[in-house]
């Protein structure tokens, strides 16, 4: 009934034992841990990795993804991906026969359940390792579906996503290992003690549905995929219709590793859909689906939280919110502006963690370069963004391309928002020309100054290269606006800049009240919109932006259940 009893000699157990032990220790200590180098340098991944990866990516274009043709299919092909950089991908994916796919997933449960947590974890590690070996191919796939710049696509879509996968595997493994396989229970009694043998068997919930997003197809999908898989649940991956390829490669690799190691590939299936098909809803309503992981817009996320949760499915969502920066005072203005400008610029503000609302007191900010008025602070921030983005060729390596029309519209409507909110544009979102991809729509960040009374404008998420500089009466008002807006509208991140210990303590209390993680006085190479696997939680589950966090115990503990069998010893 224990794993090792099930397959004590499986070679993958020994192969991955050491890394699992290291990762276990890192997770408990929340210390730095990374299994996969984040640098795309040839010195790390080899001279041929980059050209081979590009060739592998290019080979997908205009083709049918044949490696997935052994999935139960209804015979149709779907696929309409267009790179945010311009080109159509023209990859065709076999469309699932949903009934047959769910039946296949359920049929795969008993053997996977009985393999036990250690072997499942080892198989998962083998899958993630194999995904890592396709890192450059994946980088191009992520770049040309999300619009991320190449290096970011390599890192966030590759090693960083893979580290989040390993984190989920280890978190799920540790959780399962907390329950002993078997114990002898002995209760003192008048004559002899009463002795019972109790076996604890871990059983999965059922089929797990992972609904991917457009901007981070792998990074946001891997925690759910691997948390479910390691706890014994088969996974159906429903990618965003504009970001299928990265998850197709992922599922392809997973199925290959499963098959090669004697497991049923139906444990991981890809459910691509035609644009507008609504397959996520169809799948979420199926009684076989017991777990749903979702990243995406609030509307469908709230539908899932309401409807799928009400029929008993576990629903883990990451939606959106109004990420916040409170600026009070700084002792390193240059570092502060550089750090903030980078956070706003990276991927044109299209991260769910990019700051949107920057609260600055109306009477300005004390800095190591003297007092700056509200207007001067805005000008200095605009200057920092300009310096970072004024060269088109360099800028696109940070900005990437805009992912969809909504983002472009948000950028284009800054003037209208300024009118509506009685604000003033401090920095126009500049149109940037991509030297290699003339059809890419690239925008540098824009800044709009608003008064704190213009709630109507800044309490809605305005995804993309738009930041609001909000003039408050004081830092005290900044903090109370911060708490109120996050409680009501949610946030994935928050930051504070202050030289005052009292203000920092108040900001920590505000963050606790709002239920959002806080970055304090970031000036170096760590950015508010980035979290590190094994140490930083992504999301808190304590505000409306997300009901779960990558990866805490609550994210994994309910994905399996314990069935006891007991008998007299």
Considering only residues 172 through 201, tell me which ones interact with a second copy, judged by CB under 8 A: 175, 178-180, 183, 185-189, 194, 196, 198-201
- Considering only 113, 238, 255, 380, the residue that binds a second copy (CB under 8 A) is 113
**Cβ 164 to a second copy shortest distance, Å:** 16
Query: Of 160-168, 238-246, 303-311, 352-360, which segment contacts a second copy by CB under 8 A?
Result: 303-311
- Contact call for residues 148 and 155 (beta carbons, < 8 A): no
- Contact call for residues 139 and 40 (beta carbons, < 8 A): yes
**Cβ 444 to a second copy shortest distance, Å:** 27
**Cβ 213 to a second copy shortest distance, Å:** 21
370 touches a second copy by CB under 8 A: no
- What is the spatial distance between Cα 127 and Cα 259, in angstroms, rounded to a whole number? 11
**Cβ 477 to a second copy shortest distance, Å:** 20
Query: Of 145-153, 171-179, 218-226, 241-249, which segment contacts a second copy by CB under 8 A?
Result: 171-179
552 touches a second copy by CB under 8 A: yes
Strands lying side by side in the sheet with 235-238:
268-270, 235-238, 207-211, 289-295, 314-318
Q: Which ranges of 346-474 does DSSP label H, i.e. alpha helix?
A: 374-389, 392-399, 405-412, 414-421, 455-458
- Considering only 209, 518, 533, 545, the residue that binds a second copy (CB under 8 A) is 518
Q: Which ranges of 48-134 does DSSP label H, i.e. alpha helix?
A: 49-60, 98-107, 109-132
Q: How many other CB atoms are found less than 10 A from the CB of residue 567?
A: 8
529 touches a second copy by CB under 8 A: no
- What is the spatial distance between Cα 413 and Cα 415, in angstroms, rounded to a whole number? 5
328 touches a second copy by CB under 8 A: no
- Considering only 153, 483, 522, 545, the residue that binds a second copy (CB under 8 A) is 522
Query: Of 124-132, 248-256, 323-331, 514-522, which segment contacts a second copy by CB under 8 A?
Result: 514-522
Please give the radius of gyration of the chain, using alpha carbons only, rounded to the nearest integer. Answer: 25
Nearest CB to a second copy, comparing residues 389 and 519: 519
- Contact call for residues 498 and 365 (beta carbons, < 8 A): no
Residue ranges in 454-513 that form contacts with a second copy under rule CB under 8 A: 508, 511-513
Nearest CB to a second copy, comparing residues 239 and 515: 515
**Cβ 106 to a second copy shortest distance, Å:** 11
The CA-CA-CA angle for residues 544, 453, 506, to 5°, reads 60
Residue ranges in 63-102 that form contacts with a second copy under rule CB under 8 A: none
299 touches a second copy by CB under 8 A: no
Residue ranges in 4-43 that form contacts with a second copy under rule CB under 8 A: 28-32
- What is the spatial distance between Cα 165 and Cα 472, in angstroms, rounded to a whole number? 41
133 touches a second copy by CB under 8 A: no
51 touches a second copy by CB under 8 A: no
β-partners of residue 543 are 546
- Contact call for residues 106 and 236 (beta carbons, < 8 A): no
108: which DSSP letter? T
- Considering only 71, 118, 540, 551, the residue that binds a second copy (CB under 8 A) is 540
- What is the spatial distance between Cα 378 and Cα 376, in angstroms, rounded to a whole number? 5
Query: Of 130-138, 162-170, 268-276, 561-569, which segment contacts a second copy by CB under 8 A?
Result: 561-569
Whats the size of the chain, residue-wise? 569
44 touches a second copy by CB under 8 A: no
68: which DSSP letter? G
- What is the spatial distance between Cα 124 and Cα 209, in angstroms, rounded to a whole number? 17
Residue ranges in 224-243 that form contacts with a second copy under rule CB under 8 A: none
**Cβ 373 to a second copy shortest distance, Å:** 27
- Considering only 91, 516, 533, 545, the residue that binds a second copy (CB under 8 A) is 516
**Cβ 38 to a second copy shortest distance, Å:** 10
**Cβ 155 to a second copy shortest distance, Å:** 13
Nearest CB to a second copy, comparing residues 393 and 562: 562
Nearest CB to a second copy, comparing residues 392 and 536: 536
327 touches a second copy by CB under 8 A: no
Closest to 251 (Cα-Cα) out of 97, 93, 378, 119: 93
**Cβ 312 to a second copy shortest distance, Å:** 6
Angle between helices 222-230 and 159-177 (to 10 degrees): 30
410 touches a second copy by CB under 8 A: no
Measured distance between the N- and C-terminal CA atoms of the chain, rounded to whole angstroms? 17
Using the CB atoms, write b or e for 246-255: b if 16+ within 10 Å: bbbbbbbbbb
- What is the spatial distance between Cα 25 and Cα 559, in angstroms, rounded to a whole number? 22
């Amino acid at each position: 009934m224990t794993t090792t009893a099930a397959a004590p000699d499986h070679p993958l157990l020994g192969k991955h034992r050491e890394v699992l032990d290291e990762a276990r220790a890192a997770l408990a200590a929340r210390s730095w841990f990374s299994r996969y180098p984040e640098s795309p340098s040839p010195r790390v991944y080899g001279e041929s990795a980059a050209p081979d990866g590009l060739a592998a990516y290019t080979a997908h274009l205009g083709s049918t993804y044949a490696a997935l043709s052994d999935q139960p299919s209804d015979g149709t092909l779907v696929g309409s991906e267009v790179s945010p950089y311009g080109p159509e991908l023209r990859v065709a994916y076999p469309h699932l026969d949903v009934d047959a796919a769910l039946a296949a997933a359920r049929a795969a449960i008993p053997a996977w359940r009985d393999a036990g947590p250690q072997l499942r974890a080892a198989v998962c590690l083998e899958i993630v390792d194999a995904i890592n070996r396709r890192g450059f191919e994946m980088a191009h796939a992520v770049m040309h579906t999300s619009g991320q710049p190449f290096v970011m696509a390599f890192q966030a879509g590759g090693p960083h996503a893979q580290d989040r996968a390993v984190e989920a595997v280890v978190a799920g493994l540790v959780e399962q290992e907390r329950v002993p396989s078997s114990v002898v229970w002995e209760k003192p009694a008048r004559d002899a003690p009463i002795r019972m043998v109790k076996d604890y068997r871990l059983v999965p919930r059922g089929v797990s549905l992972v609904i991917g997003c457009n901007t981070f197809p792998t990074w946001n999908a891997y925690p759910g995929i691997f948390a479910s898989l390691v706890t014994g649940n088969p996974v159906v991956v429903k990618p965003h219709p504009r970001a299928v390829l990265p998850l197709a490669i992922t599922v392809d690799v997973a199925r290959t590793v499963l098959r090669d190691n004697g497991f049923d590939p139906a444990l991981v299936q890809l459910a691509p859909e035609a644009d507008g098909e609504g397959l996520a809803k169809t799948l979420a309503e199926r009684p076989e689906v017991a777990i749903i992981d979702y990243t995406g817009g609030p509307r469908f996320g709230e539908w899932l939280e309401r409807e799928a949760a009400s029929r008993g499915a576990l629903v883990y969502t990451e939606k959106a919110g109004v990420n916040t920066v409170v600026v009070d005072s700084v002792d390193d203005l240059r570092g502060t502006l550089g750090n903030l400008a980078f956070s706003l610029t990276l991927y044109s503000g299209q991260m769910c963690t990019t700051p949107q609302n920057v609260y600055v007191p109306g009477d300005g900010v004390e800095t190591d370069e003297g007092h700056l008025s509200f207007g001067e602070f805005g000008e200095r921030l605009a200057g920092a963004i300009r310096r970072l983005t004024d060269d088109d060729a360099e800028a696109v390596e940070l900005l990437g391309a805009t992912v969809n029309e909504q983002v472009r519209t948000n950028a284009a409507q800054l003037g209208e928002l300024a009118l509506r909110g009685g604000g003033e544009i401090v920095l126009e979102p500049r149109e940037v020309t991509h030297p290699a991809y003339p059809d890419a729509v690239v925008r540098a960040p824009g800044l709009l100054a608003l008064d704190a009374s213009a709630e109507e404008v800044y309490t809605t998420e305005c995804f993309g290269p738009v930041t609001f500089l909000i003039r408050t009466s004081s830092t005290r008002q900044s903090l109370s606006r911060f708490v109120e807006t996050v409680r009501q509208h949610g946030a994935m991140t928050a930051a504070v800049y202050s030289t005052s210990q009292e203000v920092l303590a108040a900001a920590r209390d505000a963050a606790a009240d709002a239920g959002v993680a806080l970055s304090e006085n970031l000036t170096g190479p760590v950015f508010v919109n980035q979290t590190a696997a094994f140490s930083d939680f992504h999301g808190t589950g304590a505000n409306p932006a997300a009901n779960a966090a990558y990866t805490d115990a609550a994210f994994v503990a309910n994905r399996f259940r314990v069935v006891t069998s007991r008998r007299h010893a």
